[in-house]
Structure 1
Amino acid sequence: METRLELDVLIYSDEVRVVTPEELTEWELETASQVSIPTVRLFVALYPYNPAAMSPNYETAAEELPFVPGQIIKVHGDKDSDGFYHGESGGLSGYVPSNMVAEIPVDDEYLKHLLMQQGFLPVDHTGINLSDVASITDDVIVQRMVALFDYDPWENSPNVDSEVELGFHSGDIIYVLGEMDEDGFYYGDLHGRKGLVPSNYLQPLPWD
């Protein structure tokens, strides 16, 4: 029967020797102190952003993150020299223009987790209200609706920015967040995909 023995060693220019437990512990503590964990910051989108049509950087537009007003974006680190953060939202990641978003002033890690799970802040017609963030999770109205017809934004949408809308099929159950906007659209969630949905294609579906 073969027995294998694993040892940690230190390699010098003139010798190789086995590391003592004390040296290994000291090295691990020193390494851990040098590793900086980037602070997670939460931002909310103030305006709709379609990189393909709006990005100032044509060559890197594909690396940028599209979003809609009210969408919550998780950001690591600070903005770069071009004024972009690197963020993630809705399962996608990419660069985020700093002038299109605002930071949510919250430090509590559990509340950050709740907000990221929610993925959205209510938006009124005058912009984003960032006051009283701690109560946001209680204030958002979530409605369950069923699609009456198929909807393909590219074919059926009256809007030029149809890429921020959500396509769906008749019978799909969509969870609507917040109130209807002035154009007759809700902000909805379908199996983790989020976007604007036309209210006249939906019908309320009672929770019970």
Structure 2
Amino acid sequence: MKAYALLALLLVVPVAHAEVEIMMEKPVFGYCERLNYTIIVSEVTGDSAIIHIRDSSGTASSAIPIIIESLQTPVPSLIALEEALFKQGIYNVDVQYSGSQDTAEFEVADLGLVCLPGTARQIVFSWVQGGISDGFMIDALQRYVEEIEIPFEIQESNVYDVDIPGWTIILGKLWAIGEATDAELIDVINYLAKEDLIIPGQSLETGA
């Protein structure tokens, strides 16, 4: 009898769910910017949060699991918004977590920001990770980014000799995690070129 009473009690006691909320970094994101938001939960349950990005027509992305280890979990995107994937308009970030759900709205707009093309972006990532030399990175920017102006031509004979100040990699790492914009990276490269801080290497200096 006691067992039945306990079972009945369990059936009528409501199950508590952890509350979840999405806080967007800002309401409008431009192309070349990275979508950033924070997942806020009332308690850490051990579950992952499940995210979907949904457009105004209701079409949603595949499920994106986010590990929740604290009450606030920043979710910075590693990939910048591109027009080929995100048309201008209103989108929603939907989250489900431990029986609760929330949604937050944001807008994608063309804000006229300077962008690194996809090819150049991949090469800069490789440079940040130490996979290619300064010369290859500068050469890629010179070839693919109209706003970059390098006062000399990088060729096969000098690509390994090109050197830039070591502190530039700090900006590169900030850019890689979304803490610096494409425009800021381009401005710094142009500053280095203007101030003759991009060294073309001995092969060009000597005419060899």
TM-score class, shorter-chain normalisation, is under 0.3
The structure, 1 or 2, with the larger RCO (C-alpha pairs under 8 Å, 6+ apart) is 2
